[in-house]
Amino acid sequence: MQQPDFGEPMLNIEQLIDAYRNGYFPMADGSGPEAEISYYTAWKRGIIPMEAFHMPKRALRTFRKMGYEAGINQQFEAVLEGCANRESTWINPVIHRTFLYLNQTGSAHSVEVFRDRKLVGGLYGLALGGAFFAESVFQDEPEAHKAALWFCHRHLTERGFTLWDAQFFTKHLGQFGCREIPASRYKTLLRQALKEPVTFV
């Protein structure tokens, strides 16, 4: 794969894809263009098993009341910007450009949440084989981030994905079925998922 030249710095694409295939992911230590970017992994990995995903009934009622609708790759850059638009973020301009390129070339994808055709939430991540590496999520209206997770799970299930990588377990993600597994188990699941002949779109 030839490294693209946008006239501005971005991560090496081959190194980034190889990192994800081996259980690593990039994060910037700040939001500025000069922030150092490092690759990280976790000794205990957070994943959301497809068969164990759960959405609180109260949230589902809110989705219906708000009239949320799903989108796939309709406003990737807007979702990326929504995820980065917070007081503390690891999505700096270099990561922004890198994932925008990955979306344009078919590896990174977004799940949008719309209300009255207006983007009110969403998430984005990287898809390789049957593995989806969720990167970040945002919302501008109540429970829209939960709607993004709900729509994402539905889409991943329909497409035949077997691994939904959340990187780290948190109590918040736990309510949706996220669990923590040893790195050794994660690597086994990752190897299996990468062999799956499925695509995000």
Task: End-to-end CA distance of the chain: give it in Å, rounded.
Answer: 21
Residues 6 or more apart whose CB falls under 8 angstroms from that of 200 comprise: 72, 109, 127, 132, 155, 159
Which pLDDT score is estimated for 1? 45
List pLDDT tens digits, range 58-74. Answer: 999 999 999 999 999 99
What are the C-alpha distances in Å from 86 to residues 82, 107, 114?
Answer: 8, 25, 20
Residues of the chain with pLDDT under 70: 1-8, 30-33
- pTM comes to 0.93
Please write the tens of the pLDDT for every residue from 113-129: 999 999 999 999 999 99
pLDDT at 31: 64
| Domain 13-194 of CATH type 3.40.630.70 | yes
Mean pLDDT of the chain: 93
How far are the Cα atoms of 61, 131, 142, 170, 200 from residue 20, in angstroms, in the given order?
A: 36, 10, 32, 21, 16
